Structure 1
Amino acid sequence: MSKLHWKPGTMLYPVPPVMVTCGNQTKANIITVAWAGTVCTNPTMVSIAIRKERYSYPIILETGEFVINLTTEALTHAADFCGVKSGRDLDKFTETGLTPLPSVNIETPMIAESPVNLECRVHTVTPLGSHDLILANVLGVNVDEALLNATGKLELNRAGLVAYSHGAYYTLGNAIGTFGFSVKKPSKKKRRPSR
């Protein structure tokens, strides 16, 4: 297989295009962030990377909180809009028709239409260059009840989440395995007792 060698780049795709809300119920903003990720299980932490010049950056630093709202196929247009338009110029909740919903643990509202909302408190901010890395503790997770099955298990695959890859949005495909399937031993069939 032939390979081309390119200069350093951020080619770690796909990534989740999440809508991050910041501010409060009186004045809130939405910024779309593609560089978001899980950092730690205990304590539960996530990260987002934002440019200092973005309108939301000083709001997040001042309040010390934000909400990560997962994006579905139905929310892709709004997510793209919130990524290319600035909250300096318009109210993104009004322009997109999204609904600000009060959070449980923080003042920043979540997006009602998003199936999962992670309420976050800033832990540390690390300047890196073009972007600053914001590490945050997750204080609570809000989940759309319609995604729970009869036993109360979250079936997030039914939410229609999307991924962002190299300039384009994609729906997620079919499941091709579950965690640990590569080492799972085949189940033994029980023999029926002979008569």
Structure 2
Amino acid sequence: MKKQNFKGSVMLNPTPVVVVTCKNSEDKVNAFTVGWISTVCTKEPIIAMGVRPERLSYDYIKESQECVINLPSRDMVKFVDYCGVVSGRKIDKIKHFGYKLNEGVSISTPSIDLAPVALECKVKSITPLGTHDLFLLDVLNVKVSEDIIDEKGKICFNKANLICYNHGEYFGLNAKPLGSFGYSIRKKKKSFNKK
């Protein structure tokens, strides 16, 4: 496959796209879109998130030392985009869309009711990097909509209609998996034909 070279840039695509809720000391809640986010550790569960220091939510999270990572579904895509381009200094984005909030369980910051999954986080550390600062977040509690949990208690993310961000555009995820973890090395079951 023939390739062209580009100068070093953040070309990791697609990425998860999330809406982060946070609040300040006056209990004002803001929501903003984050595309630079990733799991970095499972035990203890830690998520890394890049945030520009000039964002209003940067100050809220730094002050409260907590936030909620809301995983949006396809029907929230307009809200996701809006939260990424409109400042909370100008408008209450949650109220503008008429979304309801759910109280926090492990933290005082609420989550967005419509989001099928919400991760309640405490700030572990903040590291300045350049255009963005790196927030390491301890995940304390995860709220999951009962609509995406099957009768055996398994979380079926394929039913959540999650979205991703790919070089300036939002995409829905295909609900049919291409494989499952470890499928490439599993032994295939032998089938015997009866004669």
TM bucket, shorter chain: over 0.9
Q: Which runs of 5+ in 1 are unaligned?
A: none
| Structure 1 position 26, deviation (Å) | 3.4
Residue of structure 2 in register with 1:92 after alignment: 93
Q: Which stretch of structure 1 is more off in the superposition, 182-191 or 104-113?
A: 182-191
Residue of structure 2 in register with 1:51 after alignment: 52
Structure 2: distance between partners of 1:6 and 1:148: 43
Structure 2: distance between partners of 1:40 and 1:97: 35
1:8-47 equivalent positions in 2, closer than 5 A: 8-23=8-23, 26-47=27-48
The alignment covers a number of residue pairs equal to 193
1:46-125 equivalent positions in 2, closer than 5 A: 46-125=47-126
* Backbone CA RMSD of aligned residues: 1.6
What SS does the corresponding residue of 1:32 show, helix, strand or coil? strand
Q: Deviations over 1:109-150 (max 9, x none)?
A: 100000000000000001000000000100000000111111
Structure 2: distance between partners of 1:116 and 1:155: 11
**Which consecutive aligned stretches of 4+ in structure 1 deviate over 3 angstroms post-superposition?**
189-192
Choose which of 185, 188, 191 in structure 1 pairs with 2:190: 188
Residue of structure 1 in register with 2:140 after alignment: 139
Residue of structure 1 in register with 2:181 after alignment: 179
Structure 1: distance between partners of 2:58 and 2:27: 18
Instruction: Compute the TM-score of the two structures, normalised by the length of structure 2.
Output: 0.95
What SS does the corresponding residue of 1:153 show, helix, strand or coil? coil
| Structure 1 position 188, deviation (Å) | 2.6
Structure 2: distance between partners of 1:139 and 1:191: 52
What SS does the corresponding residue of 1:57 show, helix, strand or coil? helix
| Structure 1 position 190, deviation (Å) | 6.6
Instruction: Compute the TM-score of the two structures, normalised by the length of structure 1.
Output: 0.95
Structure 2: distance between partners of 1:26 and 1:3: 51
| Structure 1 position 5, deviation (Å) | 1.1
Structure 1: distance between partners of 2:114 and 2:148: 13
Q: Which amino acid aligns with 2:16?
A: P
Structure 2: distance between partners of 1:191 and 1:7: 57
Structure 1: distance between partners of 2:19 and 2:31: 6
What SS does the corresponding residue of 2:12 show, helix, strand or coil? coil
Structure 2: distance between partners of 1:103 and 1:54: 23
What SS does the corresponding residue of 2:16 show, helix, strand or coil? coil
The percentage of counterpart residues that share the same residue type is: 43
Q: Which runs of 5+ in 2 are unaligned?
A: none
Structure 2: distance between partners of 1:171 and 1:147: 16
